[in-house]
Chains A and B, each alone.
Chain A
C-alpha cells in the first residue's frame, strides 16, 4: 500500500511541468535575493529625511525627491571626474602595452619567452599588500602622493598582466602563416604589429577596455594609499568617507553609492557581453 503511495509521489515528482515550476520558483527567489540590496539602495536614494523615518527601507517613497542626489552630487562630482580621468588613461596605456606584449609572447619565439610570460602572469594574482609599502615609498619619492599621475602609473602597471594574458589568448588565433608570410616579405616586428595584428584587434581591444575600465573604476585600495587627500581623491575613496562625514544619513549614503556605481552599471548593461569575456579570460584561458 505504501508502495503505491510512493509511486504516486514519484509520478508527480517526475512530471515535467512540476519540475519546471519548481525550477522557476527557485530562480525567481534568487533574483529577489540578488536585487533586494540594490532595490533598497535605489529607493532610499530618493527619500527625504522624513520618509527615512516613516517608510520601510525597501518601500519606495510616496513623494520621491532628488535632494539626496543633488546634495551628494556636489560632494562626488570632483572625485567622479578624478576617477574618470585616471581610469581612462590607465585603461588606454595598459591595453596598448598589454597588446604589444601579448603579440610578442604569442607570435615571436625567443629563448625564455615562456618564462617571461609566466612572470608577467603572476602579477595577476599577487596580493597588492605585498607591494603597498614600496609603492607608497616610490610615489612619495617622486612627489606624486595625492596626484592623479600616481594612479595612472599604478593602474597601468598592475593592469598589464591581465591585458597581456587577454591579448595573447586572442592573438594565438591569428593564423601563423599570415605572420610568417610578412616575415618572409622582410617586414619588421613593428610593421607586422601595425599592419597585420592591430587591424585584427578590434574585439580584444573592446574586451580589454571594458574589463580594465570596470576594474580600475572599482578600485579602492590604491586610491586609499596613494591619493586619499582632497586634491586627487578617487570616487571610491570619496564615497568611503561619506559614512563618517556630516551627511552621514542613509539617504545620502545611498545617493552617493548610486552616483559612484552609475558608470559601472552603464558599462555592464550596454557592454556586458564583452565584460563577461574579460571575466572568462582570467578564468578559462588562464
Chain B
C-alpha cells in the first residue's frame, strides 16, 4: 500500500535530483544527451558569470526584504484580528483571498496595477493630485525589486496571518487570563506573553517564506521576466532560461543543484527540529 507513494516520490524526487546532479557535472553540450564526467567546471564558471551573480544577489535581496516584512505584516494582521472582532470571518476571508489565486493571475493583476501609462496605481495618483509620485514601477531597474516585494506582500501576508492566528489561538486561555489578572494588557500582553509563545509558528512561517523566496518563479517570470536588463533576474529564472530557452542543460542543472542545496539548508534543520521533538 505504501509502494505507489515510494515508487513515484522515489523516482520523481530522488532519482531526478541525482540525475540532475549527474547532468550538471557531465560533458553534455547541445541536444544529444551525454553523461561523461567532466568535472565541476560548470559550477566554477557560474561563479564568474555576471548573470548568475546578479540573480544570486537579487535573490538574496528578495529574501532580506520579503521574509522579514511578511513576518511583521502577518503578525500585525493576526494581532488586529485577535481583538474579538464581530466580523473576524469576513476580514480573514478577504485577507487570505490573494493567496488562493495562481501566481499567473496575481502577476497579471499587478502588471495592470504597475503599468506606467494607464495602470491603476499611477492613474489613482494622478487623479488625486499626487501625479508627481507616479513611477515606472516595474520598468525602472532601481525600483523593480521593491515593486515585486510589495506585490508579494499583498499575496502572502494573509497566509502568514493565518499561521500566526492559529499559533495565538493555541495558547491556553488560562495563561492569557492569568497574565491579564497580573495587569498585563494591550501592547504589553502581546510583547511579554503572547509573542514569546508563538515561536514555533514564527519558525514555520519563516521556513515557508524562505523556501518560497528561494524557488519563486511564476510571479516574477510573468510580471517582469527578470527585466529590465537583469535587474529582477533571480535564480529560478536564470535556471529556466539556461535549461529550456537556450537548451544549455548542464548550466541549468548546476543552478538547480545550487538552489536545491540552499533550500535543504533551511528545510532539513526545520524537519529535524519538528519531528525529533515529537518522538
Chain B stretch 99-140: residues in CB contact (< 8 A) with chain A: 99-106, 108-113, 115, 118-120, 123-124, 127
How many angstroms between the C-alpha atoms of A134 and B101 in the bound complex?
28
How many angstroms between the C-alpha atoms of A262 and B68 in the bound complex?
32
Which DSSP category, helix, strand, loop or mixed, fits chain A's interface?
helix
By beta carbon, the residue of chain A nearest B268 is: A122
Cβ A129 vs Cβ B256 within 8 A: yes
State which of B8, B104, B109, B127 has its C-beta within 8 Å of the C-beta of A38. Answer: B109
How many angstroms between the C-alpha atoms of A239 and B255 in the bound complex?
28
User: Is B168 part of the contact surface with A, judged by Cβ < 8 Å?
Assistant: no
User: Is B47 part of the contact surface with A, judged by Cβ < 8 Å?
Assistant: no
User: Is B37 part of the contact surface with A, judged by Cβ < 8 Å?
Assistant: no
User: Is A283 part of the contact surface with B, judged by Cβ < 8 Å?
Assistant: yes
CB of B28, distance to nearest CB on chain A (Å): 10
How many angstroms between the C-alpha atoms of A98 and B4 in the bound complex?
9
How many angstroms between the C-alpha atoms of A101 and B102 in the bound complex?
28
User: Is B13 part of the contact surface with A, judged by Cβ < 8 Å?
Assistant: yes
CB of B238, distance to nearest CB on chain A (Å): 10
The stretch of B49-57, B171-179, B207-215 that contacts the partner chain: B207-215
Given contact pairs A129-B217, A239-B104, A261-B105, A119 touches B9 in the complex (Cβ within 8 A)? yes
Given contact pairs A126-B260, A127-B263, A283-B208, A41 touches B109 in the complex (Cβ within 8 A)? yes
Given contact pairs A103-B1, A260-B102, A128 touches B215 in the complex (Cβ within 8 A)? yes
- Which bracket fits the contact residues of B? 35 or more
Q: Which residues of A contact B98 (CB under 8 A)?
A: 34, 38
State which of A122, A123, A125, A240 has its C-beta within 8 Å of the C-beta of B222. Answer: A240
How many angstroms between the C-alpha atoms of A243 and B112 in the bound complex?
11
Q: Interface 1/0s, chain B 50-86, versus A by CB < 8 A?
A: 0000000000000000000000000001001001010
State which of A56, A100, A158, A261 has its C-beta within 8 Å of the C-beta of B1. Answer: A100
How many angstroms between the C-alpha atoms of A250 and B109 in the bound complex?
10
Q: Which residues of A contact B259 (CB under 8 A)?
A: 127, 129-130
Given contact pairs A126-B13, A160-B8, A37 touches B23 in the complex (Cβ within 8 A)? no
Cβ B162 vs Cβ A276 within 8 A: yes
Cβ B279 vs Cβ A264 within 8 A: no
How many angstroms between the C-alpha atoms of A174 and B204 in the bound complex?
26
State which of B111, B239, B243, B263 has its C-beta within 8 Å of the C-beta of A125. Answer: B263
User: Is B244 part of the contact surface with A, judged by Cβ < 8 Å?
Assistant: yes
Cβ A190 vs Cβ B120 within 8 A: no
Q: Which residues of A contact B211 (CB under 8 A)?
A: 125, 127
How many angstroms between the C-alpha atoms of A20 and B112 in the bound complex?
35
Residues of B with Cβ closer than 8 Å to A? 1-2, 4-6, 8-9, 11-17, 19-20, 23, 33, 77, 80, 83, 85, 91, 93-106, 108-113, 115, 118-120, 123-124, 127, 154, 158-159, 162-163, 166, 201, 204-205, 208, 211, 214-215, 217-218, 221-222, 235-236, 239-240, 243-244, 249, 252-253, 255-257, 259-260, 263-264, 267, 271, 274-275, 279
What 10 pairs across the A-B complex have the smallest Cβ distances?
Answer: A218-B102, A127-B215, A101-B5, A131-B16, A130-B260, A134-B16, A157-B12, A134-B19, A37-B109, A157-B8
